[in-house]
Structure 1
Amino acid sequence: MYRFDNYINGIPADISASFQVFNPSTTEIAGHAPKADTTILEQAVAAAHAAFPVWSAIEDQQRQQYCQAIATKLEEHHQELATILTSEQGKPMQGTGSMFEVGGAIAWTQYTASLEMPVEVLQDDETGKVEMHRKPIGVIGSITPWNWPLMIAVWHIIPAIRSGNTVVCKPSPLTPLSTLRMIELMNEVLPAGVVNSITGGDELGAAMSAHEQIGKIVFTGSIETGKKVMSSSAETLKRLTLELGGNDAGIVLPDSDPTEIAPGLFWGAFLNNGQTCAALKRLYVHESIYSKVCTALAEFASTVTVGDGFHQDSELGPIQNRMQFNKVNQLVKDSVNQGGKLLTGGPVSDNNTLFFPVTLIATSNPNDPLVREEQFGPALPIIPYSDINDAIAAANDNPTGLGGSVWSTDINAAKNIAFRMECGSVWINKHGAIQPNAPFGGIKSSGIGVEFGKEGLLANTNIQVVFS
């Protein structure tokens, strides 16, 4: 059973209260996390605020070296972090599970550490010189979700400190353990106060977004919570990066081979058991190959093993928590009740489990709840279309705009359709394949700002123009 501390100003915080963290595979207690209150939050913010002047003033190359040292430290504890992660999140150790996530966190750290932030000369002539400098904001508040807790914490923390900021990170109370351990490891190589952790209830997130000494909030989570973060940040005019929910659409053109694309479609939809913001969540298939795609997907799904994340043959784990399980289950029930044809999978009547079978539903109802709402779980609606313009219109007829995909052997035709899709990222013949050098973010209700790459790094800075 795991028990980790909050780290504030480089040392464990003295917090007597704690809360339980559960293993979703077994529903047994995985560990305990400190239950901090707003008094402890004030200590964390004060530590980050005090550390900022020195951290922001050190040589840029030295901050690069610190970030590389973090990557090395995480690599040394790769297996340990993955084991903690599976214990609290449920995802399998192997495949695209916990070892994959920790590896991704290391890769993102290494890439972000390598980025440069040179002074940009806008003008240099007989009338004068104009330079654009990038300066750190101050204290960054990071609020992370339960689906990819380590990877997303790294996405928040590393660009922030690489660009000279200090951080207070609040992980989800559903999956705090691996993040607490990771920040403990970071504090073994960083100066005191640069990265601080705080765990507890939702009131801490609200206090962070309203806090006068936090200059920016980076939040990954639901649209409704993102709106609350934005609202409570308004009084202090905080900078914001919000990566919110998505209801990503995929469009399959009639020239596609159903058998060839089935694995890519499946893992685009069911990576991390569908608990991914940029997962494929609605699939539009041309009517000429619709039945073949449905059959190919169902056949592929039958080969995938769902089970405890510590079982060697498990490829998908449970839904992480009861609230999300109930939401997915209800959407599947509603879809079937409104005419959706169950090809494989749920709904589930057992209230004693968080395991949900891979579920595929054939539906032609545009108002099907499983089509209209983000399920964030292992259920995929498959919708036929006859006219590509109708498919594009249906894909765009949603308040979200995170990602999308087009599937075709004609890359140029696929790109032309991609340009018409209203979303921040579009993939051709794959879905959700994010990478550290490519900016990632949503439009419409899917968020504000971008992460990753140079653009994501610079989002943690303010511009100062110097005229001389």
Structure 2
Amino acid sequence: MTDLHIGENLGQANGFVQMHVKQLKHFINGEFVQTTGVEFFDLISPVNGQIYAQSPNATQQDVDYAYDCAKAAFKVWRRSTPSMRQKALLDFADALEKNAEQLVETQSIETGQLKHMIAAEEIKTSVDHIRFFAGAARCLEGKATAEYLDGFTSSIRREPIGVVGQVAPWNYPLLMAVWKIAPALAAGNTVVLKPSDTTPNSTLQLAEIAAPFFPKGAINVILGLADAGSKVVSHPVPAMVSITGSVRAGLQVAASAASNLAKAHLELGGKAPVLVFEDADLEKATDAISVAGFFNAGQDCTAAARVLVQESIFDEFVEKMVAKTKQIHCGLPDDETALFGALNNQRQLVHVKGFLDRLPAHAKIVTGGKQVTQYSGFYFEPTIICGLEQHDEAIQNEIFGPIVTIQTFKDEADALDKANDVEFGLASSVWTNDHSRSMRFSRDLDFGTVWVNAHIPLTAEMPHGGFKKSGYGKDLSSYGFEEYTRIKHVMSAYED
């Protein structure tokens, strides 16, 4: 596959000649399908604020058709063997790898991300994760078949759930779509996926790449605004609904799932504490935290956005962090010297600015704090804020921008109290050379991931997911794969 339909007429990401504005279509039953409605909305590139395409807002008829096709495909795909599913996913991964360059171009236009970052962190990682789930398809586990009750033999069947409704976010649109569809398909399910309204193109391209290797209707992509997402997750067909997104959206999805007794899988926001103790290697810590805090413009639920530093080293730590932050800059998609690109959309730029506008008098911006005006898009300086108190909005709420806050703590008890004193529970990190301390905090931090002397790396073999209002359910790993299966007990009577 060399000429992808959705990639046509999207223009150049950096030169940004005036682009032909095309109307996108849904991807249903293995082909691009015109909406049955008349409502379209503009897609605006965060690189320069220009309209580059228009997206349909799905009607109920569009969503019904997608689910009808997914139901039909499930009858076929559910009977595929693990080796068949593995082969299809491996072929899909190979095709994705071959089309990497065009995917990078497409996504850089709609997200403003750096091309080298998309290639390394989304394309390469997506290929790896698809291949992981291809292997997971052949490694189902369960209790041994045996006689647990005299006269009866029991066995466990692990089966696909059925049709799955999914909603993906805009911060890593390609990778998050893969996290949704790869485990679902590996387990024998079919999907109806709605990408974010601001970043549909790379997901459409992904579906087109995958389509030849799966039954028609196994992968369906519905476009639209929030109401289209509501139609997807509230529909009576899916046996499971899954979302990566905000707490507000997660609560709505959970309520919709409950009304249909569908299984819910929620990966929501985060406010990761980064605990730096006085015995930590400050050079290594500030190197890593400055990257983990500003990577992808801070638009990451696990970003190192909330740093807590022991009082005795606070001044030294801040000095080093400010120095390293001043060496970081945002840039256009082709800038290989930049750490991050644009904020995803105008709403997000306003959201980030709002936190700074509402800072209390006791807070201090020690570096950054302004929109970058040398570009015409939605760019913002890497920013550090000190002096905030635990109850302040910027400590308690997810900013999702290139902003890192730095607080102090007195001792271990104070550090733990402040770290856990947020409604989120997705990820955290501890920076110390004291092994016993790292083990205590790994136990006591109320977060789904605890990194020790690191922050933000992920691997397909380990689960990603949180506690509290960060949601429930795991992505990645065998645990994430099992989320997309159901367990059936088969008991057979026999006579000796």
TM-score range, shorter chain: over 0.9
Structure 2 Cα separation of the partners of residues 135 and 166 of structure 1:
13
Alignment of 1:37-52 (within 5 A): 37-52=59-74
Alignment of 1:225-264 (within 5 A): 225-264=249-288
Tell me: CA distance 1:289–1:448, structure 2 relative to 1, closer, same or farther (3 Å).
same
- Which residue of 2 is the match for residue 141 of structure 1? 165
Q: Find the residue that maps to 1:211 and give its secondary structure.
A: coil
- Alpha-carbon distance, 1:223 to partner: 0.1
Deviations 1:136-195 (A, max 9, x none): 111111100110100010000010011000011100011111111111111132221110
Match of 1:344 among 343, 351, 367: 367
The amino acid that maps onto 2:378 is L
Structure 2: tracts of 5 or more residues without a match: 1-8, 11-21
- Which residue of 2 is the match for residue 8 of structure 1? 28
Structure 2 Cα separation of the partners of residues 406 and 119 of structure 1:
33
- Which residue of 2 is the match for residue 430 of structure 1? 454
Contact kept in structure 1, 2:382 and 2:402, CA below 8 Å:
yes
- Alpha-carbon distance, 1:418 to partner: 2.0
Structure 2 Cα separation of the partners of residues 339 and 225 of structure 1:
32
Structure 2 Cα separation of the partners of residues 75 and 353 of structure 1:
29
Match of 2:236 among 209, 212, 226: 212
Tell me: CA distance 1:364–1:213, structure 2 relative to 1, closer, same or farther (3 Å).
closer
Q: Find the residue that maps to 2:444 and give its secondary structure.
A: coil
Contact kept in structure 2, 1:423 and 1:443, CA below 8 Å:
yes
- Alpha-carbon distance, 1:123 to partner: 5.0
The amino acid that maps onto 1:461 is T
Q: Find the residue that maps to 1:289 and give its secondary structure.
A: helix
- Alpha-carbon distance, 1:368 to partner: 2.4
Structure 1 Cα separation of the partners of residues 56 and 87 of structure 2:
31
Structure 2 Cα separation of the partners of residues 391 and 119 of structure 1:
40
Deviates more, 1:443-452 or 1:184-193: 184-193
Deviations 1:353-394 (A, max 9, x none): 511100001125222221111111100110011122011101
Q: Find the residue that maps to 2:176 and give its secondary structure.
A: helix
Structure 2 Cα separation of the partners of residues 353 and 338 of structure 1:
30
Contact kept in structure 2, 1:250 and 1:283, CA below 8 Å:
yes
The amino acid that maps onto 1:187 is A
Give me the TM-score of the superposition, normalised by structure 2.
Answer: 0.90
- Alpha-carbon distance, 1:97 to partner: 3.6
Alignment of 1:412-427 (within 5 A): 412-427=436-451
- Which residue of 1 is the match for residue 17 of structure 2? none
Match status 1:155 vs 2:179: yes
Structure 1 Cα separation of the partners of residues 388 and 63 of structure 2:
50
Identical pairs, percent: 29
- Which residue of 2 is the match for residue 107 of structure 1? 128
The amino acid that maps onto 2:25 is D
Structure 1: tracts of 5 or more residues without a match: none
Q: Find the residue that maps to 1:360 and give its secondary structure.
A: strand
Match of 2:424 among 400, 406, 410: 400
- Which residue of 2 is the match for residue 282 of structure 1? 306
Structure 2 Cα separation of the partners of residues 119 and 367 of structure 1:
45
- Alpha-carbon distance, 1:435 to partner: 1.3
Structure 1 Cα separation of the partners of residues 432 and 421 of structure 2:
22
Give me the TM-score of the superposition, normalised by structure 1.
Answer: 0.96
- Alpha-carbon distance, 1:442 to partner: 0.8
- Which residue of 2 is the match for residue 23 of structure 1? 45
- Which residue of 1 is the match for residue 15 of structure 2? none
Structure 1 Cα separation of the partners of residues 382 and 88 of structure 2:
42
- Which residue of 1 is the match for residue 490 of structure 2? 466
Alignment of 1:185-204 (within 5 A): 185-204=209-228
- Which residue of 1 is the match for residue 146 of structure 2? 124
Structure 2 Cα separation of the partners of residues 31 and 415 of structure 1:
51
The amino acid that maps onto 2:33 is A
Deviates more, 1:198-207 or 1:399-408: 198-207
Structure 1 Cα separation of the partners of residues 141 and 315 of structure 2:
56
How many pairs does the alignment contain?
466
Structure 2 Cα separation of the partners of residues 295 and 411 of structure 1:
27
The amino acid that maps onto 1:45 is Y
